[in-house]
Chain A
Amino acid sequence: MSFKKFYQQISKEISSPRLLTKPMELLAHGTDASFYRLTPKLVVKAANEEHIQSLLTHAYKEDVSLTFRTAGTSLSGQAVTDSVLVKLGHDWNDYTIEAEGSLIRLQPGIIGSRANHYLKSYGRKIGPDPASIDSAMIGGIAANNASGMCCGTAQNSYQTLAGIRLILADGTLLDSRDSTSVENFKKQQASLLNSLSKIRQEILADSQLHETIKRKYKIKNTSGYGLNSFIDFEDPLDILLHLIIGSEGTLAFISDITYKTVIDPQFKSCSLILFKNIAQACQASAELKKSPVAAVELMDEASLQCMAGRPNVPNEIAPGMVALLVDLRACSSEELKTKIEKVQLCIKDYGLDYNFTSDAKTYANLWEIRKGLFPIVGANRDSGTTVIIEDVCFPLDELAQATVALQNLLLKHGYDKAIIFGHALEGNLHFVFTQDFNQASEVQRYASFMDDLSELVCDQYHGSLKAEHGTGRNMAPFIEAEWGANAYRLMQQVKNIFDPKNILNPDVIISTNSQLHLQNLKPIPQADALVDQCIECGFCESACPSKDLTLSPRQRIAVWREIKRQENAGEDTKNWLKDFQYLGNDTCAADGMCATKCPVDIDTGQLIKKLRTLQHSSLTRSVAQFSAKHFSLSQSFIKTGLKLAKVTGKYPQQPKTKS
């Protein structure tokens, strides 16, 4: 493998501002929302298919691996690499709406909620609805098969796929909606398609495996490759397209995707219903699944404790109490009313005291309780620790026992502040806890917890270890445990068929490293009280004016943490501080818009302003004080700025043309 040769070739074909190699930029762009840290050797801001094809061609030739990245909000370690990180951003923003809004073609750099904004006037939206939809982009949403509270297993990317344009590891392009492209592809890649058909036949011939696959996709499942493609479709091209969904950038590059859109009902109502215990709540969820509910969100006692006293949540939470947030949506107020009546009928035997509200403010309030759960744990953790969110799924009829078993497992390992919540209709539970990865004994605690979790979810309850968040590096070592040797072998084959040289996001989904989930853990050194609670989720990035020029708020924090780590380790931070001056400090608008998007209310601008204060020498400070005192004479900052700009001719400035 020759990274050097790869780099030489690439730099001939992609302009240098798109190739980042400064150590600071590599660390900054390498950071994602997961608790893994790998620093790429090179970051490429790819602009178009030609860039991707040239990257793939040379990577294939030189055996260099590539990892694609859209918003980097992934939680399981599938968007980090120590090789080449290929970032897609604003260059991949094209879309077209077709068939009166019933189809939408989207490039991978579009934020999920933007797509919904485009569809708003048609009364429609895309099916996938991860909680991160205001930040996550289409590439990552499709490649993770992300879903959320209303999407279930019926409206995810897999189910609402109408077409993909993709590029394989060897550079072959396929546009499934273009018949010429399909014809050519069928000729060129006959052997690939043939291999997929063979796997299908093998699965159909193995009734046990066939049953396992059917069973496993009745609930949400993003562990491993989507083997359901092989039983849901006969045409190997359809199998191929559906395998790409959820493949986490390990099988092909997604250049655009066409979704069948879904109706976005405008009339909404919800209710927070309190149950005495988990058994009752889970039983009610099973009943509610038969009624016209849009979402049922479960929150355990610990979750409720976190939110106790907020509007609509009691002050005192009784031991064992569990809440269901039941949500209904409809296209008219009459329809909504009928739905409420049906739901009330459905759970009347429980003798519960609750109200459905359609008042916009109360409705939003109730959802804030649910949405605030992950951040509140993040915000209340000890600095230096990581917040971990896991995402498992159990068969619905066993949800009650499984939840209790999970609670006990967390207690057994000393995670006594963990909270559990999730999408009850799907049996999908998220649990959040904080973890210190700075000590070997703590890493060991996590390791034994994960082994036990795998045993609980896979062996005891036949659930899935990942329901929404993708396999990543976090669950790759457990895929075989979850699926069994036979299915795992087929998944290995899938990877090999698409990517025989293993250049696409290696170790993600398929890995031979049983310790992968315990390696390359992200250090979270204390950096500054203003930003220590940052969970590196990346939600702030889209609001930042400097994100495409230098660094985003998340990246500023990650870099500042690294500088502090270096300082603590007695390393020389001179070069980093020098680079940070422009990349981090000078080009921060300090407008605080990042805080408006941050789930833990961090205003990174405050950190930068603080650094600016610390930086001023006494001379500049006294000049500032002089100018403040003699403000009417100088109105200095503004005028000096103006003068400076005029002298240097920097202004007015035309927008830079795209390279």
Chain B
Amino acid sequence: MTLAQGDGPKVIYFSSCVNSVLAPESGKSTPKSVLSLLKKAGFHVLMPESPKSLCCGMPYESKGFDKSAKNKTLELQNSLWQLSDQGRIAIICDNSPCSYHMINTLTDKLKVLDAPSFFAQHLDLFKITKTQNSLLTFSVCSQQKAGESAALNKIAQACSQKLKEVEEITCCGFAGDRGFSHPELNSSSLKSLRDQVGKCTKGYSSSRSCEIGLKTHSGIPFNSILQLLDECSAPKE
């Protein structure tokens, strides 16, 4: 991938491993959307050197592999520490659960932002043309815990006038990869989702694995809110 080297401020993009492993079957992958957005907005983008070997450690931690989790976290921290010029350059991550985990495990000296929160703050850098589609948004649990749900809806609002938020479901239950091994957890948690779809034709969220379950149980495609923003935006003249 070629990185945008705009005149704007430097920013580090850390793409979560799930976004490459679980890339959507059709359409742009989330990393492509994020890079395209950063380019349109004129940022100077930096990425860790061997991004594919880095991981925030969460998949290990949630399974109780504490030691492995800690090792991955430290590895990531070291890499970002250097790249960010000891925390001077902000880091954005494109998958909310990973961002949340990084914010809570990496040193506070590193400025980590969840990508939707980052772009929600920079909407004025884009020329946005609203889509006619009716959209369903789901704020994933880590985004809710971080108190950043508004970011998702702020972007969605900028991109469409026909919006609906998923109600009452606090967590989709996909739980990283538990949605694969215990799909019944996902279906139980999302049992009311299909009835909430109404006229919405597309769904948006900010966690790739959650989106897989959300798609299955809503019957409509679910993608990253970053892709929506990319589709609706152009550079400002």
Query: Chain A residues in contact with chain B, CB under 8 A?
Result: 90, 114, 117, 542-546, 548-549, 586-593, 596, 609-616, 621, 624-625, 627-629, 631-632, 635, 637-639, 641-642, 644-645, 650-656
B232 at the interface (CB under 8 A from A): no
- Partner of B170 from the list A542, A609, A637 (CB cut-off 8 Å) is A542
Q: Are B67 and A650 in contact (CB under 8 A)?
A: no
List B36-85 residues whose CB lies under 8 Å from chain A.
50, 52-55, 59-69, 71-72
Q: Which 3 A-B pairs have the closest CB atoms?
A: A612-B64, A545-B173, A545-B189
Q: Are A642 and B180 in contact (CB under 8 A)?
A: yes
Known A114-B168, A587-B182, A628-B68; contact A609-B175, beta-carbon cutoff 8 A: no
User: Which residues of chain B are near A589, meaning CB under 8 Å?
Assistant: 141, 171, 173-175, 178, 185, 189
Known A609-B64, A615-B64; contact A655-B170, beta-carbon cutoff 8 A: no
- Partner of B180 from the list A614, A644, A654 (CB cut-off 8 Å) is A644
Q: Are B50 and A655 in contact (CB under 8 A)?
A: no
Q: Are B144 and A596 in contact (CB under 8 A)?
A: yes
A211 to B187, CA, bound (A): 57
User: Which residues of chain A are near B67, meaning CB under 8 Å?
Assistant: 621, 625
Q: Are A545 and B64 in contact (CB under 8 A)?
A: no
Q: Are A653 and B185 in contact (CB under 8 A)?
A: no
Query: Chain B residues in contact with chain A, CB under 8 A?
Result: 17-18, 21-22, 50, 52-55, 59-69, 71-72, 141-142, 144-145, 167-194, 209, 216-217
Chain A residue with Cβ nearest B176: A637
**Given known contacts A545-B186, A588-B175, A624-B63, what 19 new A-B pairs fall within 8 Å (CB)?**
A543-B171, A545-B175, A548-B188, A548-B191, A590-B175, A593-B171, A609-B61, A609-B62, A613-B65, A616-B64, A616-B65, A628-B69, A628-B71, A629-B71, A632-B50, A635-B55, A651-B179, A651-B216, A655-B216
Chain B residue with Cβ nearest A612: B64
A490 to B71, CA, bound (A): 70
- Partner of A621 from the list B65, B172, B185, B217 (CB cut-off 8 Å) is B65
Q: Are A545 and B185 in contact (CB under 8 A)?
A: yes
- Partner of A546 from the list B54, B177, B181, B185 (CB cut-off 8 Å) is B185
- Partner of A639 from the list B21, B65, B172, B193 (CB cut-off 8 Å) is B21
User: Which residues of chain A are near B192, meaning CB under 8 Å?
Assistant: 90
A335 to B65, CA, bound (A): 59
A587 to B186, CA, bound (A): 10
Q: Are B68 and A624 in contact (CB under 8 A)?
A: yes
A66 to B193, CA, bound (A): 32
User: Which residues of chain A are near B60, meaning CB under 8 Å?
Assistant: 624, 628, 637
Q: List 11 A-B contacts (CB under 8 A).
A: A544-B170, A545-B189, A589-B173, A590-B62, A596-B170, A612-B63, A628-B60, A635-B52, A650-B180, A653-B184, A655-B194
- Partner of A90 from the list B177, B181, B191 (CB cut-off 8 Å) is B191
A587 to B72, CA, bound (A): 25
- Partner of B188 from the list A549, A593, A615, A637 (CB cut-off 8 Å) is A549
- Partner of A655 from the list B142, B174, B190, B209 (CB cut-off 8 Å) is B190
A545 to B62, CA, bound (A): 16
Q: Are B185 and A549 in contact (CB under 8 A)?
A: yes
A189 to B142, CA, bound (A): 55
A593 to B63, CA, bound (A): 17
Which interface residue of A543, A592, A611, A655 has the most chain B CB atoms within 10 A?
A655
Q: Are A641 and B177 in contact (CB under 8 A)?
A: yes
- Partner of B59 from the list A90, A545, A638 (CB cut-off 8 Å) is A638
Chain B residue with Cβ nearest A111: B168
Q: Are A632 and B53 in contact (CB under 8 A)?
A: yes
Q: Are B64 and A546 in contact (CB under 8 A)?
A: no
A644 to B21, CA, bound (A): 15
Chain A residue with Cβ nearest B69: A628
A612 to B60, CA, bound (A): 11
